[in-house]
Copies of this chain bind each other. A is one copy, B any other.
Amino acid sequence: MDIEQFRKASLKVIYFICEYLSNIATETVNADVNPNIKPGYLENLLPGEAPEDPEEWDNIMDDFVKKIMPGITHWQHPGFHAYFPSGNSFPSILADMLSNAIGCIGFSWQAAPACTELEIIVTDWLAKEVGLPNDFLSSSEGGGVIQTSTSECVLVCMLAARNQAIKTLKEQNQNLEDSAFVQKLVAYCSQEASSCVEKAAKLFLVKLRILDSDENGCLRGDTLKVAMEEDKAKGLTPFFVLAMLGSTYTCSFDDLEEIGQVCKEQQYCWLHVDAAYAGNALICPEFKHLLKGMEYVDSFNINPSEWLLVNFDCSCLWVRKRALLINALSINPLYLQHSNDNEATDYRHWGIPLSRRFRALKLWFVIRKYGIFGLRSHINNHIELAKYFETLVRKDARFEIVNDVTLGLVCFRLSNGCTASKELFQLINKSGKIFVTLAKTKNVHFIRFCVNSEDAKKESMDFSWKIIQELADHVVVSPAKQELINVLFTKNVLEKTRSL
């Protein structure tokens, strides 16, 4: 594909993007949010082997529209209320186009100076807006970095914590190998924490205690303290605590101050805050109180790719002492060394991958095009709509609200039980009109409904709620009829809902 072909092809792609994103924003009624397909649908549509000869661009684009698009779950659809948002905006798309064209790989300062320096600058910008203490800025001993995902933020911080803990333990027993201390290490999180902390613990073979949160889904200092005392009595060493600001299940908030004080009492214990979704709201002054206790925190992550309109991947991680992260991750072969090694940041030492995209560009474009003012408005709009949706739910006596609706997530259920709530969940997602997720805490099943799309409006809340109410009419029946419903009703309800 030469430049003239690209110029022509790109016009068609831009046209497609504009059509797609404008239609999806407005035509809730006509376009289903998720496709009505079964696993394996694409296998039947594509050849089993790669083409030997080059194909015409128009054929490829045509196949994309006819074969790929029908298999897309539309995360930017106003009826998409599952998970948390997947950030998306025009300035972000434009930045990625430029980043791709430049095609640089930012593993060291020398390999991509602007890419490295802009990452330092925009993570500093964001740290200040979020309200992190100065210790987390690059001008101090800390600093920020863009990781691929929350999972990696948590993984590398648990790694740095593990190494520090082993170092401390080794002072008392220098003859043992590092790995011999691993079985002594225990990490903590609440039952509301995201699954990535379990994955990290599984990877490092450290123990993980998943603690009860209080009635508000909040992990309290006392609970943590009791657990730690029990573990220390068994000869274990608490080394890592993950606290949530905005949990995955109900967007609840752990008590940083209480947790931090307990961590401080330990010989060595790293406190990481996962604020992947909710941390973005900290750019609004009214949420700064959530940062109480930050003086105890060692590392902190938010995902602008969730709620600041930046396309995935863009997970910002800040650490109080960058040297601990770098020591845990640096391998420095000659072919990657350069003459500015000592004075420049080499981000390959801050994460797992050696190679890195120019991701700071999209964060920079988005912050500048919206301004912090615009990003705050975006967040406030979602919060207002979530609170509005909450009032709708509360008006219908068949339902109950499960969480404290602070940000954009509303958790609700049918009052008459888990089975009914699960059935309602299935009906909703099979309808194709809106898309939600099912979750469970403290043995109670509920539906997570998150306000996601950039252009989210009151009307789409009304629309979603109307569908949920109608589907609920078919759920609230005697248990004896449940099986019959499963077999007979579902199909009709779905057909009816699909033709709404």
- Residues of A at the B interface (CB closer than 8 Å) are 1, 3, 5-7, 9-11, 13-14, 16-18, 20-22, 34-35, 37-43, 46, 48-55, 57, 59-60, 64, 68-76, 82-83, 86-94, 96-98, 100-105, 109-115, 117-118, 120-122, 124-126, 128-129, 148-152, 155, 159, 177-180, 182-183, 194-196, 198-199, 202-206, 248-249, 305, 311-313, 328-329, 331-337, 339-340, 343-345, 352-355, 357, 361, 365, 367-374, 426, 437-440, 448
Contact, CB under 8 Å: A333 / B195? yes
Task: Decide yes or no: A3 and B16 within 8 Å by CB, A105-B75, A148-B148 being known contacts.
Answer: no
Contact, CB under 8 Å: A182 / B205? yes
Task: Decide yes or no: A90 and B9 within 8 Å by CB, A205-B182, A367-B51 being known contacts.
Answer: yes
- Contact partner of A51 (CB less than 8 A), chosen from B115, B195, B335, B372, is B372
Contact, CB under 8 Å: B6 / A90? yes
Whole-angstrom distance between the alpha carbons of A339 and B490 in the complex?
A: 15
Count identical subunits in the complex. 2
* CB-defined contacts of A49 to chain B, threshold 8 Å: 125, 128
Contact, CB under 8 Å: B72 / A113? yes
Contact, CB under 8 Å: B438 / A335? yes
Task: Decide yes or no: A13 and B103 within 8 Å by CB, A113-B37, A331-B202 being known contacts.
Answer: no
Whole-angstrom distance between the alpha carbons of A102 and B9 in the complex?
A: 18
- Contact partner of A22 (CB less than 8 A), chosen from B3, B18, B59, B150, is B3
Contact, CB under 8 Å: A103 / B75? yes
Output the least CB separation between A324 and chain B (Å).
14
* CB-defined contacts of A104 to chain B, threshold 8 Å: 72-75, 86
Output the least CB separation between A354 and chain B (Å).
5
Task: Decide yes or no: A101 and B60 within 8 Å by CB, A117-B40, A149-B355, A353-B149 being known contacts.
Answer: no
Q: Which of A37, A55, A249 has the most CB of B within 10 A?
A: A55
Output the least CB separation between A391 and chain B (Å).
24
* CB-defined contacts of A37 to chain B, threshold 8 Å: 113
* CB-defined contacts of A110 to chain B, threshold 8 Å: 34, 73
* CB-defined contacts of A43 to chain B, threshold 8 Å: 117, 120-121
Whole-angstrom distance between the alpha carbons of A59 and B122 in the complex?
A: 17
Output the least CB separation between A445 and chain B (Å).
8
* CB-defined contacts of A438 to chain B, threshold 8 Å: 334-335, 337
* CB-defined contacts of A313 to chain B, threshold 8 Å: 353, 355, 357
